[in-house]
Amino acid sequence: MKSIIKLLFYLSLTYFANSEAQSASAEAFPLKLLGEAIEKGGLAGLNSYLDEGGKWPRITTDSFATKNKIINQIELVALSNRLVGLLRERAEEEPSSEINTLESEAMLFFALGEKLWRADGYRNRLVSLLCCDLASHRCGKIIILSRGKKMGPQRPDVFTVRNSGEMLKLFVKMIPENKGISESGLDDLLADAPVNGETWLEMIVAIRNIKLVESTVGNRFNEAVALPSSFLGSNIFKENIGALVFDYGWEQVMHESMLPALAVYLKNGGSLKTLLEEPTNATKFEGVMKNEIYHFSMNPVMSGIVNGDQIAGLVEAIQSPENLSQRLFGIKK
Amino acid sequence: QSLPELKVMMFVAEVDRTYRASDYADPEWAYRSTHLLSTGVSALINGGAIEQEELEDWLGLSELNWPAYPPVPGVIDLTLGKQKLSRQQDFPEQPPAGWGAWDLPPLEAVRGSFHFHSREVTVPDGGNGEEMSYLKYWGTHATKKVWVLLNRRLTEDLEVPFLKIATKASTLDYQNEGTWYEGAINEATKVTLGDPEVVKLTVRAGENVSETGVVLDPLEANEGTFENERRYDVDLLPVEVKEVWSDQITGVEANGFPDKTGPNEYPYIFMGANTATTFKVKIKLAAEIPAAVRSQILFRWASEGVLEEFLPESGISTFSDGTIVQLSSDFNINVGRERFLVWAFDENKNGQIDGFESEVLIKMQHVRRGATTSIPCKFIPITQSDYEDSKKILLDWASAQLIQIPLRNSARHLIAFCKGTVPIYSGSESTTIKRNESGLSHPIGVAFRPTNVPGISFKATISKDHDLSKKLIRSNALRIWLAGEFNSVADGIKNDIIQERRNGDPAALLSYSITAKEKSLAFGVVDPDLLFCLGKVTFENPTIDFKVDMYGFVSEVKVWGLANDLYDFDREGEEILGYPARKASEVQAGFPSLGVGGKVFKTQIDMGGGNPYDDPNLTPYTFFPY
């Protein structure tokens, strides 16, 4: 009995000691460790650290942080920026020509992306999509090297979007992070009367037409509720829920439509040279694809089918670090 | 209920000599005013400006009630705007008693340059709507004569800004009977200009009198009662803006008021600046401003303040002649701020509008969708920095679309638009664009020339194998359009099928070729690349070849013809593209003065016999849907 009481006493002391330690260092200690993990091991080091039980903090927008009194937002953003910097460096590197190397790199990007997505917060999720996009391009390189026989690693489920309704859910959920939109009451309106549409693009049109007190959503949030006008990488530094949702959906299109279409094209003997040199000449693309399914859907982002011109754009980005970096971060100054 | 629209006709007459007084107690000036009014009406009629019946109808009178002494037809000589009038010749009738003798020397060299202006003012509901049973007018006397004819009594004041340039009160004292100036006014006795001042000639509701004078009633004149009219003692010079236009391209009058703000009839002038710091417009006045006071007539831009007041900004306005003024800005234009046109009389001659020199907001008639309104002259100038910033945003955006999302045709067009080049992968032909070209939202983005000939641009030609042509053929919009065309011939084809079925061949196919009736097609959000690249197209020679089976399904559909578009950005358009679309309109406004980017061009797509039902997943149209 004594030993049991001793054990309980020991456990309670340990618990309180740990709680106190965690409370005291809740802000500083994990960030320091995360920073060290990045400094020492780069992206792989960070991923290993997180696999071993390390936690990545929720990182949101500055306005949401201010509203919720997150006092270490500056440190959190600095940490996030350090990660974005590493991802950018990877985007600007020439991709390997070894399928094994590409596979492990894609797996790393996917794994990091999944963890960031689960860590939640506007900023985390956009960086997560950046990881997913980089992984997709490495998968694309695998498809090219294997002439469509290999597709690269599986994409984590968190990036799967089944329909435009799921994109709307994400949009509404993320609205509190955008001060302007959240204060307009749009989230309440959408909760009461969800918009319909086969694609996210159609939903954007419907959302833009919603009447607020003084004007429509389109007039008041002309840039935020529209097709994104900036690059995924630069959206991280803004508060643009619309861009996040669009980029999220686009990752789905990339994996479910464009990469498989590229694989089918190559498996059927399609020429990369033709694709790149005559990108608007859809006839040859269809000539190669017509015995297979070429009408890969652009849903849930927008209606339409994948064509040779779009695949050409993807191949340009897969094969050229400059194009990939430009696609993600814009033209380098 | 709404009252009929009030119409105001204004005559401005000029005479070489100011006035010839009589040594009789004849109110000569009234007589001459009356006479000149008659002459003005005659001039309009004789000059073909308006028919008498039309004028009567316009004035709302069953019969034109002429002033006291109608002119004798054929006597008045208006050749080259000069006329010599002789009372004896013009008015052989005996005047009423008290009008004095007829042996006065003739009025010499009356310049018959009668200007015709009309204004239309909508009187709000609730006015008394009383029709005037006779023609009223007022006249002022001296170098300018002004009459305003109203077709009915006003229920609210009507203000017309005028510049008062002289007063006769000191010379001719009409206030006191018997103190008439005796003897002719000649060069030696000519009235000199007094201190100029700006007045607003106000026609009072229900009275039709001016602030500075009283009604001169021709009916009263007939009866020889002339008490009131003697108090008329001012000269009024109208400073009325007849036209104003952007001088973005020097000497080109393509973008302005009235009714030249583009086919979409937006109530403002959207324009690019001429340089980094200045934007220019030209202003045409309805009547000539005498050289002596031109330097004191100041036109300026004004911004609207928080209390909806207008705050004049610095600038330079220069008369190139008596009626044309060029206004150039001299301030920091900033981003897309709206500016309004004002004028004021520079009393202290310091070249700027001071607080006490109250400015007048210039309004113009504007017609949109058939409705005429009077609106302030509003301008939205685009600066060099606006232009460059917008261009950069667009190029960044387009670069992303080229790789990121399937709007590559839109991106190619946009890149070409920003760089002033032909879109990559398309051919090009020289073409022209008219000022009122269909699809041109504002008359900007085209290097129009001084004459009215169209501006030169290019046509991007898209072959049938081009991705854009394929997308057009397979678009949702085209299938809807096609269904409409099939529906229009459905009755005949159904009968043909029924007839053919009697031959007993279930595999029989009927062949058709039809010319499409609907010649335009608009794209929606379900065809995003077409929506952003083209918006809508008009078809040229659209024909549809197709076969129909015995179940009514079409097959081997071939759509021929050309699809044409004008690449223009509507600043007011509600675009899903959001910010970039508005930015693109700013780049368009900057061409050609701020750079080569922003040129509007045409796109012509060869549909080349493409089949809209090529996708095996699509169910073709059927003439028997149930």
State the angle between helix axes of A28-51 and A99-119 in degrees (0 to 180), rounded to the nearest 10. Answer: 140
**Contacts of residue B466 in chain A, CB cutoff 8 Å?**
280-282
Q: Which residues pair with B260 in a beta bridge?
A: B256
Place of tokens 């946009």: B414
Query: What is the distance, to the nearest Å, from the Cα of residue A152 to the centroid of all Cα atoms in its chain?
Result: 18
Domain boundary, last residue among A143, A174, A200: A143
- Write the burial class of residue B502 (CB in 10 Å: 0-12 exposed, 13-18 middle, 19+ buried): exposed
The answer to whether the Cβ–Cβ distance between A229 and B526 falls below 8 Å is no
Measure in Å the smallest separation between the Cα of A83 and chain B Cα atoms. 22
- Write the burial class of residue A40 (CB in 10 Å: 0-12 exposed, 13-18 middle, 19+ buried): exposed
**Could you tell me if A18 and A139 lie in one domain?**
yes
pLDDT for B462 equals: 96
pLDDT for B193 equals: 34
Average pLDDT over residues B345-350: 82
The answer to whether the Cβ–Cβ distance between A282 and B465 falls below 8 Å is yes
Query: Where do the domains of chain B lie, and which CATH numbers do they carry?
Result: 241-381 (2.60.40), 388-606 (no CATH)
Give the helix/strand (H/E) hosting B522: strand B520-522
**Could you tell me if A19 and A139 lie in one domain?**
yes
**Contacts of residue B578 in chain A, CB cutoff 8 Å?**
218, 222-223, 225-227, 229
- Write the burial class of residue A6 (CB in 10 Å: 0-12 exposed, 13-18 middle, 19+ buried): exposed
Q: Give the residue with greater pLDDT, A284 vs A61.
A: A61
pLDDT for B3 equals: 33
**Does residue B379 surpass a pLDDT of 90?**
yes
Choose, out of A231, A241, A309, the residue to mutate when testing the contact with B (most B CBs < 10 Å): A309
Query: What is the distance, to the nearest Å, from the Cα of residue B608 to the centroid of all Cα atoms in its chain?
Result: 41
Most confident of A139-153, B216-230, B389-403, B562-576: A139-153
Question: Does the CB of A203 have a partner CB in chain B at under 8 Å?
Answer: no
**Contacts of residue B615 in chain A, CB cutoff 8 Å?**
295, 305
Residues 6+ apart with CB under 8 A from A104: none
Dist CA A123 CA A241 (whole Å): 10
% chain A with pLDDT above 90: 53
The 8-class DSSP code of residue A177 comes to G
The boundaries of the domain holding residue A211 are: 164-295
Dist CA A286 CA A283 (whole Å): 5
Residue in A253, A216, A223, A250 with CA at minimum distance from that of residue A238: A223
**Does residue B73 surpass a pLDDT of 70?**
no
Residue in A225, A175, A180 with CA at minimum distance from that of residue A60: A175
**Could you tell me if A139 and A210 lie in one domain?**
no
Pairing of strands B339-345, B269-272: unpaired
Are B565 and B594 in contact by the 8 Å Cβ rule? The answer is: no
Residue A303: pLDDT band (50, 70, 90) is confident
Are B473 and B612 in contact by the 8 Å Cβ rule? The answer is: yes
pLDDT tens digits, residue range B176-206?
Answer: 332 223 333 333 333 333 344 454 555 544 4
Residue B237: pLDDT band (50, 70, 90) is low
The answer to whether the Cβ–Cβ distance between A305 and B615 falls below 8 Å is yes
**Does residue B72 surpass a pLDDT of 90?**
no
Average pLDDT over residues B216-235: 34
Residue in B302, B322, B321, B250 with CA at minimum distance from that of residue B281: B250
Residue A315, domain member (yes or no): no
Q: What is the residue-wise DSSP string for B556-579?
A: EEEEEEEEEEEE---TT---TT-H
The answer to whether the Cβ–Cβ distance between B527 and A323 falls below 8 Å is no
What single letter denotes the amino acid at residue A287? G
Question: Does the CB of A250 have a partner CB in chain B at under 8 Å?
Answer: yes
Dist CA B420 CA B416 (whole Å): 6
**Contacts of residue B404 in chain A, CB cutoff 8 Å?**
231-232, 250, 313, 327
Query: What is the distance, to the nearest Å, from the Cα of residue B4 to the centroid of all Cα atoms in its chain?
Result: 23
Residue A332, domain member (yes or no): no
Least trusted range by pLDDT, from A128-142, B96-110, B348-362: B96-110
Choose, out of A280, A281, A329, the residue to mutate when testing the contact with B (most B CBs < 10 Å): A280
Measure in Å the smallest separation between the Cα of A22 and chain B Cα atoms. 43
**Contacts of residue A218 in chain B, CB cutoff 8 Å?**
574, 578
Question: Does the CB of A297 have a partner CB in chain B at under 8 Å?
Answer: no
What single letter denotes the amino acid at residue A74? I
The answer to whether the Cβ–Cβ distance between A230 and B409 falls below 8 Å is no
Are B165 and B237 in contact by the 8 Å Cβ rule? The answer is: yes
**Mean of the per-residue pLDDT values for chain B?**
69
Number of domains composing chain A? 2
Q: Give the residue with greater pLDDT, A228 vs A314.
A: A314
Residue A288, domain member (yes or no): yes
Residue A5, domain member (yes or no): no
pLDDT for B157 equals: 56
The answer to whether the Cβ–Cβ distance between B400 and A230 falls below 8 Å is yes
Measure in Å the smallest separation between the Cα of B469 and chain A Cα atoms. 10
Question: Does the CB of A291 have a partner CB in chain B at under 8 Å?
Answer: no
**Does residue B369 surpass a pLDDT of 50?**
yes
**Could you tell me if A54 and A138 lie in one domain?**
yes
The answer to whether the Cβ–Cβ distance between B615 and A314 falls below 8 Å is no
The answer to whether the Cβ–Cβ distance between A302 and B467 falls below 8 Å is no
Question: Does the CB of A213 have a partner CB in chain B at under 8 Å?
Answer: no
pLDDT for B578 equals: 67
**Could you tell me if A169 and A289 lie in one domain?**
yes
Measure in Å the smallest separation between the Cα of A209 and chain B Cα atoms. 10
**Could you tell me if A207 and A138 lie in one domain?**
no
Residue ranges with strand state E in B278-389: 280-285, 297-304, 310-312, 315-319, 324-329, 339-345, 360-361, 363-368, 371-376, 378-382
**Could you tell me if A199 and A100 lie in one domain?**
no
Question: Does the CB of A298 have a partner CB in chain B at under 8 Å?
Answer: yes
**Does residue B83 surpass a pLDDT of 80?**
no
State the angle between helix axes of A308-319 and A259-267 in degrees (0 to 180), rounded to the nearest 10. Answer: 100
Residue A322, domain member (yes or no): no
**Does residue A263 surpass a pLDDT of 60?**
yes
Residues 6+ apart with CB under 8 A from B4: B60, B129, B152
pLDDT for B93 equals: 40
pLDDT for B262 equals: 84
pLDDT tens digits, residue range A94-124?
Answer: 999 999 999 999 999 999 999 999 999 999 9
The answer to whether the Cβ–Cβ distance between A330 and B466 falls below 8 Å is no
The answer to whether the Cβ–Cβ distance between B467 and A280 falls below 8 Å is yes
Average pLDDT over residues A224-232: 81
Residue A302: pLDDT band (50, 70, 90) is confident
Residue B148: pLDDT band (50, 70, 90) is very low
Pairing of strands B601-606, B455-462: parallel
**Could you tell me if A168 and A139 lie in one domain?**
no
Residue A301, domain member (yes or no): no
Pairing of strands B324-329, B280-285: antiparallel
**Could you tell me if A191 and A283 lie in one domain?**
yes
**Could you tell me if A168 and A291 lie in one domain?**
yes
**Could you tell me if A73 and A178 lie in one domain?**
no
Question: Does the CB of A295 have a partner CB in chain B at under 8 Å?
Answer: yes
Dist CA B198 CA B360 (whole Å): 10
Place of tokens 């065309």: B485
Average pLDDT over residues B467-492: 94
Q: Which residues pair with B554 in a beta bridge?
A: B548
Dist CA A61 CA A179 (whole Å): 9
**Contacts of residue B425 in chain A, CB cutoff 8 Å?**
279-280
**Could you tell me if A123 and A182 lie in one domain?**
no
Which of A307, A308, A331 is facing B399, going by the closest CB pair? A331
pLDDT for A140 equals: 97
**Contacts of residue B407 in chain A, CB cutoff 8 Å?**
227
% chain A with pLDDT above 70: 89
- 3-state SS track over B166-209: EECCCCCCCCCCCCCCCCCCCCCCCCCCCCCEEEEEEECCCCCC
SS3 B508: coil
Dist CA B509 CA B532 (whole Å): 39
Residue A8, domain member (yes or no): no
**Does residue A54 surpass a pLDDT of 80?**
yes
Question: Which chain A residue shows the shortest CA-CA distance from B468?
Answer: A280
Residue A321, domain member (yes or no): no
pLDDT tens digits, residue range B258-290?
Answer: 888 888 888 899 999 887 678 899 999 887 787
Q: What pTM value is reported for the model? A: 0.72
**Contacts of residue A320 in chain B, CB cutoff 8 Å?**
none
Neighbours of B89 (CB within 10 A): 12
**Does residue B152 surpass a pLDDT of 50?**
no
Dist CA B481 CA B525 (whole Å): 16
Least trusted range by pLDDT, from A85-94, B15-24, B374-383, B595-604: B15-24
**Contacts of residue B402 in chain A, CB cutoff 8 Å?**
313
pLDDT tens digits, residue range B95-137?
Answer: 333 333 333 333 332 322 222 223 333 333 333 332 222 222 2
